Amino acid sequence: MGRLAGKVAVITGAGSGMGKEMALLFAREGAKVVCADRSGMQEQIAASIGDAAVAVHADVSVSADIQNMIKVAEDRFGRLDILCNNAGFGGKMMPLHEQTEEAYDNVHAVNLKGVFLGIKYGVISMLRTGGGAIVNTASATGLVGWKDHSIYAAAKAGVLQLTKCAALDYAQNGIRVNAICPGMVWTGLVKASLENPVPPPGTKPPFNVPMGRWGLAAEQANAALFLASDEASYITGVAIPVDGGYVVG
Ligand code: NAD
């Protein structure tokens, strides 16, 4: 029996990086998986999983896309048990006064409003079936200040507040809402990862990470799996740093 046997999961940003690893891992653990992304890459990931997965195009900043992705889970697999609001992007990193209002709106539309929409419509579905687990991908930047990351960090801090408040709103409805806070992870957000799927030996992250190395997408997926599974049945409203010790360093 897998750790998610019988569960139905929707994962956003499933076409790359952490979301891709979550989709593959959750399927290996017995879940049916809806792979949602706006890139088109979700089709390949779902195809590699087979009958236990379906791909759906979704831009998480668009309400109709979020509602459709939840409906796909319900229509294809009967219900929604797990929602990973994982899709996001960093935008350009620079001092705050050089950032534009347009960049602010774009980064927040996806990284913050996208999570709000996911929780809102995910919860509506889960309330119908008696509960579920939501795992939001925030960031270590939501916990501590990072130079040149103001807009992104503010959105990720917002994700943590959405997580805590939603955890309280639905604590008595069987819906747990938690977050992971990745540190520096070797994914599509890191340009060099496009040429090297794993960090070349000796490659160091740009900030001082106590463990001295990049994190891997699979390590984020492992944390998400725990929070999504019944093993975390008494855990709600937490933000787990998965960052090689960065935020305590
Ligand atoms: P990634 O680029 O490999 O994957 C992100 C995926 O999200 C892509 O497939 C992309 O197409 C998708 N996506 C982006 N905007 C979308 C939208 N509007 N609608 C639907 N899909 C969208 O990057 P990743 O590192 O795996 O990112 C996953 C999450 O982790 C993001 O929320 C990111 O902010 C967060 N994060 C990443 C790091 C890191 O170091 N890589 C650190 C902290 C947090």
* 176, amino acid identity: R
Smallest CA separation from ligand 1 atom 32, residue: 88
Distance from residue 17's CA to the centre of ligand 1 (Å): 7
Of 88 and 207, the structure prediction assigns the larger pLDDT to 88
Could you list the active site residues? 152
Of 188 and 158, the structure prediction assigns the larger pLDDT to 158
Cα–Cα distance measured from residue 184 to residue 242, given in angstroms and rounded to the nearest whole number: 9
What is the chain's alpha carbon radius of gyration, rounded to the nearest angstrom? 17
Q: Is the pLDDT of residue 189 over 90?
A: no
Binning pLDDT at 50, 70 and 90, where does residue 191 land?
confident
Q: Is the pLDDT of residue 197 over 90?
A: no
Instruction: Give tens-digit pLDDT for 47-57.
Output: 999 999 999 99
Distance from residue 132's CA to the centre of ligand 1 (Å): 23
Smallest CA separation from ligand 1 atom 1, residue: 188
Span 83-97, mean pLDDT? 97
Distance from residue 187's CA to the centre of ligand 1 (Å): 8
CA dihedral (27, 234, 84, 184) in degrees, to 10, reads -100
Structure tokens at 144: 């501590």
Span 75-81, mean pLDDT? 98
Domains in the chain, please, with CATH?
Answer: 8-184+216-248 (3.40.50.720)
Smallest CA separation from ligand 1 atom 2, residue: 188
Specify the pLDDT at position 141. Answer: 97
Report the DSSP beta bridge partners of residue 134.
83, 177
Span 186-209, mean pLDDT? 89
Binning pLDDT at 50, 70 and 90, where does residue 249 land?
confident
Is the shortest distance between the CB of 19 and ligand 1 below 6 Å? yes
